[in-house]
Chain A
């Protein structure tokens, strides 16, 4: 924190990258007002603001995890939100018959190329549910949170990073086989 007792944007970004939930919640509270203000001034209501903000933060956090260089977090969050909201408004104007209150379903419509190439989405999620908890958490830590092997070894109480790596690989081997079955039966 700086002398005023505030987080620097750099430490916020580092905290998000590390999966620090306290920092994520701080960020959530910090930037929501400006987004809500924008949405409600542009034909949106409270629900719109909440849905849009959450979907946008998912994108922002993903970029951060992927190592994107972000100079001003506040501006970046605002830009992503603004772009998404304007896209949604444009969609609503063009398809007034399709006004859907649940933002998530609209999102699915907007990214329909994703849907066409993933008809097996449900089966895959099912396979993930059936995977044992440790394996799933290991894979999420590596592929979603993008933690280092050292960090993963530490979280799962393995002595060495190599142990974590080989366990992760075994878990991936296991679920990849299941995915092969799913893809072959399409």
Chain B
């Protein structure tokens, strides 16, 4: 175990994740080396205090949630019923009118955009969800710069790329571009005229959606946010 890995090793031990032999070696060192024993106890104490800090902060958040909660009459649902995440009957009558859906959809898109903008600042981990695949289609890739420069405004259609649309409540408007361009969005996207513009000299891509331009990076596994140029 070298210095730089010490923290990892201690974590593994404290998580009970060491293999039998590694664990035996670790415990032997604990017995023989009081300075090391102190280090392990210290890391344990730090981990505990981080847990306490995190829980305290989370509890404060819960108090805010509680305050924001609308005070309505408490329902009396069976705790074992799965269908109880549905709206109550009063709300259902209102939602049978189509006009309400249109209004609600546009309002919630705005609200979602706002909330997800805030969430992006707070950090979203993309690791643990399986988004729902919606559509797969192809869009043209226009290449510019390089040989085509001479022709006034003319970009030659040299290629096309496969786009996959995914629905995922975690991402407001994100992408991952490896072999295919995967778009992750929480709200339904309209496919008007999507074009991927490729600039040869700089080897960069820009996704053009109507008049809006979103630079995208090709390669890597990370899901990144789509931001206008």
A interface residues with partner B (beta carbon < 8 Å): 1, 4, 6-7, 9, 11, 14-15, 17-25, 28-30, 32-34, 36-38, 40, 50, 53-55, 57-58, 61-62, 72, 74-75, 78, 118, 120-121, 124-125, 127-128, 136, 139-141, 143-145, 147-148, 150-151, 154-155, 166, 169, 172-173, 175-177, 179-180, 182-184
Contacts of A125 in B (CB 8 A): 49, 52-53
* One of B42, B53, B55 near A179 (C-beta < 8 A): B42
Q: Which 7 A-B pairs have the closest CB atoms?
A: A144-B54, A151-B125, A155-B123, A179-B42, A124-B49, A78-B79, A18-B125
13 extra interchain contacts, Cβ-Cβ under 8 A, other than A143-B54, A175-B46, A179-B43? A24-B65, A28-B69, A34-B77, A38-B79, A54-B66, A124-B49, A139-B46, A140-B50, A140-B54, A151-B126, A151-B127, A180-B42, A184-B38
Interface check B21, CB cutoff 8 A: no
- Of A18, A36, A58, A175, the contact of B55 (CB 8 Å cutoff): A58
Interfacial chain B residues near A136, Cβ < 8 Å? 53
Total contacts A-B at CB 8 Å: 173
Q: Contact between B46 and A172 (Cβ–Cβ < 8 Å)?
A: yes
Residues B50 and A50 in contact, CB atoms below 8 Å apart: no
Residues of chain B contacted by A36 (CB below 8 angstroms):
74
> Which residues of chain B from 39 to 81 have any CB-CB distance to chain A below 8 Å in the complex?
39, 41-43, 45-55, 58-59, 61-63, 65-66, 68-69, 74-77, 79-80
Query: Is B128 engaged at the interface, CB distance under 8 Å to the other chain?
Result: yes
B222 in contact with A154 (CB, 8 Å): yes
A160 to chain B, nearest CB (A): 10
Q: Which residues of A contact B123 (CB under 8 A)?
A: 19, 141, 147, 151, 154-155
Contact yes or no, B169 A23, CB < 8 A:
yes
- Residues 18 to 50 of chain B near chain A (Cβ within 8 Å): 38-39, 41-43, 45-50
Question: A7-B85, A18-B128 are known contacts. Are A173 and B7 too (CB-CB below 8 A)?
Answer: yes
Q: How far is the CA of A48 from the CA of B117 in the complex (A)?
A: 35
CA–CA, A166 to B8, complex, Å? 10
Asked if B86 is at the interface of the complex by the 8 Å CB criterion, the answer is yes
Residue B124 is within 8 A (CB to CB) of chain A in the complex: yes
Is A124 in contact with B82, judged by CB distance below 8 angstroms? no
Binding site for A on B (CB under 8 A): 4, 7-8, 38-39, 41-43, 45-55, 58-59, 61-63, 65-66, 68-69, 74-77, 79-80, 82, 84-86, 115-116, 118-119, 122-129, 169-170, 221-222
Query: Most B CB atoms within 10 A — which of A33, A36, A37, A127?
Result: A33
Give A155 to B65 CA distance when docked, in angstroms. Answer: 24
Smallest CB gap from A61: residue in B: B58
- A20, B53: Cα distance in complex, Å: 18
